Amino acid sequence: MRTMKSSTFKRIMGNMKGAYLSYGVGIVGLAITGFLIQATLALLFLNLFDNLAGGSFQAVLDSILNYIIYIMIIIAFIPFFAYLADRSAVITTGNIRKRAFGKLTRLPLRYFQQHHSAETISTLTNDIAETEKAYSEHLVRFLASIFTGIGTMIVMFILDWRIALIPVFAGLLTILVNSIFAKRLRTVSKDVQAQLAHVNTRLSNILAGMHVIRIFNIQNLILSKFKKQNKATLAVSQKRIKRLSLVESLNDLVFTIGFAGIVLLGSLLVLEGLTTIGVIIAIVQLQNGVSELVRMLGSFIANLQASLAAGERVFELIDQEEEPERYASATPLTGQGSAIALQDVIFSYESDQRVLDQLSLAIKHKQTVALVGPSGGGKSTVFKLLLQYYPVESGGMHIDGKPVDAMTIKAIRDQIAYVPQDAYLFNTTIRENIAYGKPDATEEDIITAAKSANAHDFIMELEQAYDTMVGEHGAKLSGGQRQRIAIARAMIKGAPILLLDEATSALDNASERLVQSALDKLMKDKTSVIIAHRLSTIEHADCIVVISRGKVQEVGTHETLLQKNDGDYKRLYQRQLKLSD
Q: Tens digit of pLDDT for each residue in 450-460?
A: 888 888 888 88
Same domain for 197 and 153, yes or no, is: no
Higher-scoring residue by pLDDT: 6, 443 = 443
Question: Could you please report the per-residue DSSP string of 486-498?
Answer: HHHHHHHHT-SEE
What confidence score (pLDDT) does residue 185 get?
A: 67
Same domain for 246 and 388, yes or no, is: no
Q: Quick check: 130 and 8 in contact, CB under 8 A?
A: no
Same domain for 114 and 2, yes or no, is: yes
Sorting pLDDT into bands at 50, 70 and 90, what band is 326?
low
What confidence score (pLDDT) does residue 510 get?
A: 66
Please state the domain count of the chain.
3
What confidence score (pLDDT) does residue 156 get?
A: 79
DSSP code at position 536: G
Same domain for 81 and 217, yes or no, is: no
Indicate the average pLDDT of the chain: 78
Determine the Cα–Cα distance for residues 95 and 86; give it in Å rounded to an integer: 14
For residue 1, pLDDT beyond 60: no
Span 165-169, mean pLDDT?
79
For residue 528, pLDDT beyond 80: yes
Q: Quick check: 295 and 251 in contact, CB under 8 A?
A: yes
What confidence score (pLDDT) does residue 299 get?
A: 65
Span 202-223, mean pLDDT?
61
What confidence score (pLDDT) does residue 248 get?
A: 73
Q: Quick check: 459 and 488 in contact, CB under 8 A?
A: no
**HEC per residue, 197-222:** HHHHHHHHHHHHCHHHHHHCCCHHHH
Per the domain annotation, does 408 fall within a domain?
Answer: yes
Per the domain annotation, does 289 fall within a domain?
Answer: no
Higher-scoring residue by pLDDT: 9, 332 = 9
Sorting pLDDT into bands at 50, 70 and 90, what band is 127?
confident
What confidence score (pLDDT) does residue 152 get?
A: 80
- Reported as a single tens digit per residue, the pLDDT across 137-160 is 777 777 877 777 788 888 878 888
Sorting pLDDT into bands at 50, 70 and 90, what band is 328?
low
Same domain for 318 and 233, yes or no, is: no
What CATH number corresponds to the domain at position 315? 1.20.1560.10
Question: Could you please report the per-residue DSSP string of 150-161?
Answer: HHHHHHHHHH-H
Q: Which of 71-85, 197-211, 381-395 has the lowest mean pLDDT?
A: 197-211
Same domain for 309 and 358, yes or no, is: no
What CATH number corresponds to the domain at position 575? 3.40.50.300
What confidence score (pLDDT) does residue 415 get?
A: 84
What confidence score (pLDDT) does residue 6 get?
A: 43
Higher-scoring residue by pLDDT: 37, 289 = 37
Torsion of CA 352, 358, 364, 369, to 10 degrees: -60
Span 81-102, mean pLDDT?
84
Per the domain annotation, does 294 fall within a domain?
Answer: no
For residue 183, pLDDT beyond 70: no
Per the domain annotation, does 403 fall within a domain?
Answer: yes
Sorting pLDDT into bands at 50, 70 and 90, what band is 3?
very low
Sorting pLDDT into bands at 50, 70 and 90, what band is 4?
very low
Per the domain annotation, does 482 fall within a domain?
Answer: yes
For residue 215, pLDDT beyond 60: no
Burial 276-294 (b: 16+ CB within 10 A, else e): bbbbbbbbbbbbbbbbbbb
Q: Which of 31-45, 134-148, 241-255 has the lowest mean pLDDT?
A: 241-255
Per the domain annotation, does 285 fall within a domain?
Answer: no
Determine the Cα–Cα distance for residues 488 and 456; give it in Å rounded to an integer: 10
Same domain for 226 and 144, yes or no, is: no
Say what percent of the chain tops pLDDT 70: 83
Query: Domain ends where: 274, 289, 309?
Result: 274
For residue 568, pLDDT beyond 60: yes
Sorting pLDDT into bands at 50, 70 and 90, what band is 578?
low
Same domain for 3 and 72, yes or no, is: yes
What confidence score (pLDDT) does residue 53 get?
A: 64
Per the domain annotation, does 256 fall within a domain?
Answer: yes
Range of the domain at 219: 161-274
Question: Could you please report the per-residue DSSP string of 437-461?
Answer: TSTT--HHHHHHHHHHTT-HHHHHH
CA-to-CA separations, 534 to 98, 269, 384, 575, in angstroms, rounded:
44, 99, 21, 11
For residue 333, pLDDT beyond 60: no
Sorting pLDDT into bands at 50, 70 and 90, what band is 275?
confident
What confidence score (pLDDT) does residue 506 get?
A: 58
Same domain for 420 and 318, yes or no, is: no
> Is the pTM of the predicted complex or chain greater than 0.85?
no
Q: What angle do CA 419, 420, 425 make, to 5 degrees?
A: 85
Q: Which of 66-70, 171-175, 504-508, 555-559 has the lowest mean pLDDT?
A: 504-508
Same domain for 208 and 245, yes or no, is: yes
Q: Quick check: 90 and 96 in contact, CB under 8 A?
A: no
Q: Could you tell me which of 401, 409, 391, 394 has the C-alpha nearest to residue 359?
A: 394
Q: Could you tell me which of 359, 409, 417 has the C-alpha nearest to residue 389?
A: 409
- Reported as a single tens digit per residue, the pLDDT across 364-414 is 888 888 888 888 888 888 888 888 888 888 888 888 778 877 788 888 888
For the chain, the farthest-separated pair of C-alpha atoms sits apart, in whole angstroms, at: 121
Per the domain annotation, does 92 fall within a domain?
Answer: yes
Same domain for 127 and 188, yes or no, is: no
For residue 214, pLDDT beyond 60: no
Q: Quick check: 511 and 451 in contact, CB under 8 A?
A: no
For residue 205, pLDDT beyond 70: no
Same domain for 75 and 192, yes or no, is: no
Burial 452-482 (b: 16+ CB within 10 A, else e): bbbbbebbeeeeeebebebeeebebbebbbb
- Reported as a single tens digit per residue, the pLDDT across 465-520 is 888 888 877 788 887 888 888 888 888 888 888 888 876 665 666 666 777 777 77
